[in-house]
Amino acid sequence: MDSLAGIPRVTLFKQPGSKYLVARIVLIDDLFHYQYPFRLPDLFEKDLTDPKLTKYENLVRVECIKTLSSKEVEKHFYIREFITTYKISNQTAKEVKQIFIDLIHLFHQYQLIEEEGLLMSNRSPITISKLTTSNISDGVILYERFHTDSLLFNKV
């Protein structure tokens, strides 16, 4: 079964004097006509024994979708910037880095990215199996894996 899923831009903010968050949703028509197909596993499916994802599991998944759906071959995962943007404590930062690593392993399992990438700190090569919460502090650059048999071609 084929389906079309779109990720609109969602901005959350709190109105002064209100106890509720307000969401501003921007739908982009260009997404419907996007010419660079990408595949993703179901990132929001959770174990039946623990069906809810944590706040950080959801945030990291959305960040990964944004990164993987870009048309560039190099996929930049800016982990330090992510942790700073969401004001994540040092205590929770290790957990967030592990969520990134687990998802990267999943992307490799689904053959969406190559086995080797680069650490952002010094641009040194690293294999996905050697990623740790210590060595990905700045971030990691991964490379999209192309599947010529599954690419969509426009007929002229």
pLDDT tens, position by position, 41-80: 888 776 656 678 889 999 999 999 889 888 888 999 999 9
Residue 81: give the domain boundaries: 37-143
Whether residue 104 is contained in a domain is answered as yes
Count other C-beta atoms under 10 Å from residue 30's C-beta: 7
Would you say residue 124 lies in a domain?
A: yes
* 5 in any annotated domain: no
For residue range 126-137, list pLDDT tens digits in order. Answer: 999 999 999 999
Counted domains in the chain? 1
24 located within any domain: no
CA distance 107 to 103: 6
Q: Measure Cα distances from 131 to 29, 44, 58, 73, 118 in Å.
A: 37, 23, 21, 20, 10
Asked if residue 61 is part of any domain, the answer here is: yes
Is residue 2 situated within a structural domain? no
Q: Does the residue 47 lie in any domain?
A: yes
In a domain, 126, yes or no: yes
